[in-house]
Amino acid sequence: MISSLKNIFITGTDTGVGKSIFSALLAISLHNEGKKVCISKPIQTGFPKDTDFLKELTGNKIPIFNTYSFSLPAAPIISAEHENKKIDLEKIILDIRNLEKEFDCVIVEGIGGVAVPITDHVIARSPLMADDEAISKTLRDCRIGASASPHNDTYLVADLIKDLNYPVIIVSRSSLGTINHSVLTIEFAKQKDLNILGFIVSAYDETLNDPVIKTAPDVISKLTKVKCLMKIPLVKKLSFESLNSLAEKFATLKYVC
């Protein structure tokens, strides 16, 4: 069950698919169970800020953390360059590791999807990444010009998930095109050897008699062999109150596909 996990990474098939809504819903559900939970949005770009949206959705009851925030609404590698800044991967990972010490559960919300580039300052991954001293030493020893990622010379969101060693849930749209987007995202995550728990269908309107919406989750599961964990119903007015009400249904997994 999702709520039994200590730490989890939330990614999506694209930007604006509902990652923050699901992150907030999950955090509220865990909070209501009495767990000390926080949300980390390591990198955000553009305005309004996702962290402000998360604070609003969680009623300021869940601590929200952020390491890098840029004004240009683009991939981090572009936004950072636009402001003539560098993204320090060591700082991102160590910030999250510190949260793990303080909270029962850390929910990390990614930016965009799994193939979004964060930086070209690549670090070499190590099986010891879960150890603080090993993280620091590994990252210091693998600065620019050192051993690069075996798959790509640019550090992607998928690489961050891998280095954190977090299980991942993928948030998908419920609209036309979601099969293609979801399958491509899931298959790329498999190539990166990520621990995929399943996918979530966001803004699922059960009142619509639309075969596209109704059949997409089953088709995605059939094509990828990855389970649809939940269909989050369409919430017309997003607020803490509406998500808190929905969290009660979430806790009983009433909307599991």
CA atoms within 13 A on the CB side of 129: 21
DSSP states of 157-204: HHHHHHHHT--EEEEE-SSTTHHHHHHHHHHHHHHTT--EEEEEEEEE
Element containing residue 100 per DSSP (H, E) = helix 89-102
Please report, for residues 39, 198, 221, 238, the alpha-carbon distance to residue 53 in angstroms, rounded to integers and kept in the order given: 12, 25, 30, 10
Strands 7-12 and 168-172: parallel
Q: Is the dihedral of CA 30, 54, 168, 92 positive or negative?
A: negative
Q: Is 41 a catalytic residue?
A: yes
Q: Catalytic residue, from 6, 19, 35, 41: name it.
A: 41
State CA 119 to chain mean position distance. Answer: 17
CA 54 to each of CA 38, 62, 184: distance values in angstroms, whole numbers, following the listed order: 11, 9, 27
CB atoms within 10 A of CB 237: 6
3-state SS class at 72: coil
Positions marked catalytic: 41
